[in-house]
């Protein structure tokens, strides 16, 4: 009677039961990759420096206001690079007064002072820069997650990658272009007054006052569908932003059939500011700007107290709905760019599954039949071990929630080819031992023992390369590495341990063994 037979049988049964438990039901437990079920994979780069720059801009504005409140005239104050402000006072006499004002801006350091010229630079401290960059990415991630949740995607993956990248995976999205637009939009909503004193022609010629800028709006001709750019001269000062919004909802546009608009509602602070702005500027035009594009610039007829406004712009219902989503979820603190995109339509995914399955079943069939013909009963034992290997492989993938990709399927097909190597090694060794005259039992004993070291060596080398593959960032290569690694790990158990158990059960009983079917 071989050693520990009961314990070994129990172990195999436990493994089979656990595998079945993890795997059931397969449709739900096996995670298909985007290449198999269709969907979008996006790698976004967050331009975090732009967040630092905009915060520096804000600080420069605050500083200017603070100096002016103290009666200190400023000749020039401007951002330099992303994180520095160059200040030049109108007269050097106010130097000492300026110091007390600047001291309140504690995230900046004063450098390159030139008292006689009344000049100095403020440089943002590194800790603050790091914090702002980090904020930009974390808030960006949060905002994008919010938008995707509202858009309605089941089981999205949204994670931070490296220093300033965001990885987004949206399985099963039917309209990739729309999802991309929704995610990538900065969605910075701004209200600014038009500069009606500067004629547009003059602005187009490049003559603009310091306080104004040239922005464009888009107009689509109903008949020809041609897009036209409409220039606007807008005052640089932002009166109100989308940060003060509480609600954004889609409505039918009462003034133009078939178009939709987004109704917004401000917070109490926003309502107060909006009321003041409209009161002070009756008769002027207020531009509604989203990501630097003017959507409309209605004239203010009277003070608007209720804190409500509408954004119109020849929207379809989907456009309006997406705009409402991004406004509700808030603006990204810094713009994002798409660094990498992989979109697979659902029909292509279905094709890939079909081909992957054909490949797997094909290679499995070839190997199964070959082993059966060449090694007969022992070949059947190896085939059963191979079946168990596949069961464990899929169960492990379900257990660690790994995704099954097309290269992953290829990895499985290859694993099948390589997993039988172990059995071939053992069987060839047993045959050899029998050839030199050993009894069947002794040959089995020696075959398994002698082959073990080689088997461990071959597994470790290939599993080593599989680890290198799966530590690689890209999902296609990773998927291949994962299935190869698990498959080979499982093969150590099934092709050696499990096969040995079956051999023991077949040949190591009490009755005398004359020959082995090998």
The residues binding another protein (CB under 8 A) are 43, 45, 176-177, 180-181, 184, 337-345, 347-348, 351-352, 355-356, 358-359, 362-363, 366-367, 370, 373-374, 406-407, 410, 413-414, 416-418, 420-421, 424-425, 428, 431-432, 435, 450, 453-454, 457-458, 460-462, 464-466, 468-469, 472-474, 476-477, 480-481, 484, 518
Cβ proximity of 422 and 454 under 8 Å? no
Short-list 129, 126, 122, 97, CA closest to 108: 122
- Give the nearest distance from C-beta 404 to another protein in angstroms: 14
CB 437, min distance to another protein, A = 13
Closer of 288 and 426 to another protein (Cβ): 426
Q: How far apart are CA 481 and CA 391, in angstroms?
A: 18
Which lies closer to another protein via its Cβ, residue 43 or residue 59? 43
Q: How far apart are CA 466 and CA 468, in angstroms?
A: 5
Nearer to another protein, 301 or 515 (CB): 515
Closest approach, Cβ 441 to another protein, in A, equals 18
Question: Between 359 and 384, whose beta carbon lies closer to another protein?
Answer: 359
Identify which of residues 18 and 359 has a Cβ nearer to another protein in the complex. Answer: 359
Cβ closest to another protein, residue 24 vs residue 472: 472
Q: Which is nearer to another protein, 235 or 494 (CB)?
A: 494
Please report, for residues 8, 152, 171, the alpha-carbon distance to residue 174 in angstroms, rounded to integers and kept in the order given.
50, 12, 9
CB of 465 vs another protein, minimal distance in Å: 4
The CB-of-77 to another protein minimum distance in angstroms stands at: 31
SS (H, E, C) 193-226: EECCCCCHHHHHCCCCCCCEEEEEEEEECCCCCC
Cα gap 394→401, rounded to integer Å: 10
Q: How far is the CB of 431 from another protein (least distance, A)?
A: 7
Closer by beta carbon to another protein, 292 or else 417:
417
Shortest approach of another protein to residue 454 CB, angstroms? 4
Rounded Cα–Cα distance for residues 274 and 27 (Å): 54
Running DSSP on this structure, what letter comes out for residue 285?
A: B
* Ordered DSSP codes for 226-273: -EEEEEEEEES---EEGGGEEEEEEEE-TTSTT-EEEEEEE-HHHHHH
Rounded distance, CA 443 to CA 517, Å? Answer: 13
The tokens 């990415």 sit on which residue?
137
Least Cβ distance, residue 3 to another protein (angstroms): 24
DSSP 8-state symbol, 497: I
State the minimum distance, in angstroms, from the CB of residue 423 to another protein. Answer: 10
**Dihedral over alpha carbons 471, 475, 478, 482 (to 10 degrees):** 120
Helix ranges restricted to H, 70-208: 95-103, 126-151, 176-184, 200-204
State the nearest-atom distance from the C-beta of 141 to another protein, in Å: 19
Distance CA 233, CA 116 (A): 39
Distance CA 340, CA 344 (A): 13
Q: Which is nearer to another protein, 79 or 133 (CB)?
A: 133
Classify residue 446 as exposed, middle or buried by CB count within 10 Å of its CB (0-12, 13-18, 19+): middle
348 Cβ contact list (under 8 Å, min separation 6)? 38
Backbone Cα Rg of the chain: 35
In angstroms, give the least distance from the CB of 459 to another protein: 9
State whether residue 115 is helix, strand or coil.
coil
């Amino acid at each position: 009677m071989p050693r520990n037979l009961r314990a070994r049988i129990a172990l195999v049964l436990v493994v089979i039961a656990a595998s079945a438990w993890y795997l059931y039901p397969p449709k739900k437990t096996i995670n298909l990759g985007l290449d198999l079920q269709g969907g979008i994979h996006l790698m976004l780069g967050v331009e975090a420096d732009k967040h630092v720059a905009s915060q520096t801009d804000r600080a420069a504005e605050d500083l200017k206001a603070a100096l002016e409140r103290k009666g200190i005239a400023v000749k020039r104050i401007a951002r330099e690079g992303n994180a520095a402000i160059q200040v030049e006072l109108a007269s050097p006499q106010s130097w000492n007064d300026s110091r007390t004002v600047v001291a309140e801006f504690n995230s900046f350091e004063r450098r390159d002072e030139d008292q006689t010229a009344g000049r100095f630079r403020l440089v943002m401290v590194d800790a603050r820069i790091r914090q702002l960059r980090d904020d930009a990415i974390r808030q960006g991630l949060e905002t994008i997650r919010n938008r995707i949740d509202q858009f309605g995607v089941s089981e999205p993956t949204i994670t931070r990658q490296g220093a300033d990248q965001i990885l987004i995976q949206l399985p099963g999205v039917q309209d990739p272009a729309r999802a991309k637009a929704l995610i990538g939009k900065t969605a910075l909503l701004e209200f600014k007054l038009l500069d009606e004193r500067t004629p547009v022609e003059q602005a187009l010629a490049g003559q603009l006052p310091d306080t104004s800028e040239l922005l464009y709006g888009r107009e689509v001709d109903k008949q020809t569908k041609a897009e036209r750019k409409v220039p606007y001269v807008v005052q640089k000062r932002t009166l109100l932003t989308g940060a003060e919004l509480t609600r954004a909802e889609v409505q039918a546009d009462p003034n133009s059939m078939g178009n939709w608009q987004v109704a917004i509602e401000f917070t109490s602070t926003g309502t107060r500011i909006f009321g003041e702005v409209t009161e002070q500027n009756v008769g002027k035009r207020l531009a509604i700007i989203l990501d630097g594009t003017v959507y409309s610039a209605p004239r203010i007829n009277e003070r608007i107290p209720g804190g409500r406004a509408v954004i119109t712009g020849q929207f379809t219902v989907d456009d309006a709905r997406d705009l409402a989503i991004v406004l509700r979820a808030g603006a990204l603190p810094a713009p994002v760019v798409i660094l990498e995109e992989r979109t697979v339509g659902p029909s292509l995914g279905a094709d890939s599954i079909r081909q992957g399955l054909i490949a797997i079943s094909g290679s499995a069939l070839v190997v199964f039949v070959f082993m059966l013909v060449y090694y007969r009963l022992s070949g059947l034992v190896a085939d059963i071990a191979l079946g168990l290997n596949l069961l464990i492989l899929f169960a492990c993938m379900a257990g660690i929630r790994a995704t099954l990709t097309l290269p992953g399927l290829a990895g499985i097909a290859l694993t099948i080819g390589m997993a039988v190597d172990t059995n071939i090694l053992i069987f060839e060794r047993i045959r050899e031992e029998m050839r030199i005259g050993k009894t069947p039992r002794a040959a089995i004993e020696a075959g398994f023992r002698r082959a073990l070291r080689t088997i461990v060596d071959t597994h470790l080398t290939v599993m080593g390369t599989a680890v290198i593959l799966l530590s690689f960032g890209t999902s296609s290569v990773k998927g291949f590495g994962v299935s190869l690694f698990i498959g080979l790990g499982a093969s150590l158990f099934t092709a050696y341990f499990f096969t040995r158990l079956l051999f023991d059960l077949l040949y190591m009983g009490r009755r005398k063994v004359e020959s082995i079917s090998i």
